[in-house]
């Protein structure tokens, strides 16, 4: 009977360790853009290139010292004032650049976008600066992707 208790305790300890280890097995993701700066100034002409090219075409967007080239996988006019484009780059391990352009009521144009790959821990988010210019700012993807 004593041996049975020992085996039972050993099984409980083994299962506890196995369960605890299984819950902590999140993969460590590396940074994809570590060699690029935290903030990349972005020309509006480069952003507009994405909206001028048709779906399925190859495009190259240049931002400061960072170049994003890929195929436009989606180009959608959601409303009369909202356009969205997704560019997929095979040279950057299928990283996606998603960008939307909104024409406001006063006819000004606003952009939002992200450069992101779920395999990596970093990416870029397109933000409007206080002086009215746009830049790609580095972000940690776990702040953007909640499925991890």
Average pLDDT, the chain: 82
What pLDDT, in 10s, does the model give residues 69-89?
A: 999 999 888 888 899 999 999
DSSP state, 91? G
Per-domain boundaries in the chain:
39-143
Q: How far apart are CA 18 and CA 131, in angstroms?
A: 54
- In this prediction, residue 19 has a pLDDT band, given cuts at 50, 70 and 90, of low
Q: How far apart are CA 102 and CA 95, in angstroms?
A: 23
What pLDDT, in 10s, does the model give residues 105-115?
A: 999 899 999 99
Whether residue 137 contacts residue 124, with contact meaning beta carbons closer than 8 Å, is answered with: yes
- In angstroms, what is the C-alpha Rg of the chain? 23
Q: How far apart are CA 88 and CA 83, in angstroms?
A: 17
95 bridge partner residues: 89
What pLDDT, in 10s, does the model give residues 39-60?
A: 889 889 989 998 999 999 999 9
């Amino acid at each position: 009977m004593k041996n049975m208790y020992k085996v039972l305790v050993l099984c409980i300890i083994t299962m506890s360790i196995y369960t605890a280890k299984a819950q902590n097995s999140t993969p460590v993701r590396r940074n994809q853009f570590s060699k690029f700066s935290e903030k990349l100034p972005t020309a509006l002409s480069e952003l507009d290139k994405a909206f001028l090219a048709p779906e399925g075409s190859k495009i190259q967007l240049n931002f400061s010292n960072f170049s994003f080239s890929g195929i436009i996988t989606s180009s959608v006019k959601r409303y009369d004032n909202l356009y969205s484009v997704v560019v997929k780059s095979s040279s950057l391990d299928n990283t996606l650049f998603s960008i939307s352009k909104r024409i406001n009521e006063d006819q000004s144009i606003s952009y939002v976008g992200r450069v992101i790959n779920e395999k990596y821990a970093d990416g870029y988010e397109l933000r409007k600066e206080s002086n009215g210019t746009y830049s790609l700012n580095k972000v940690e993807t776990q702040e953007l992707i909640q499925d991890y």
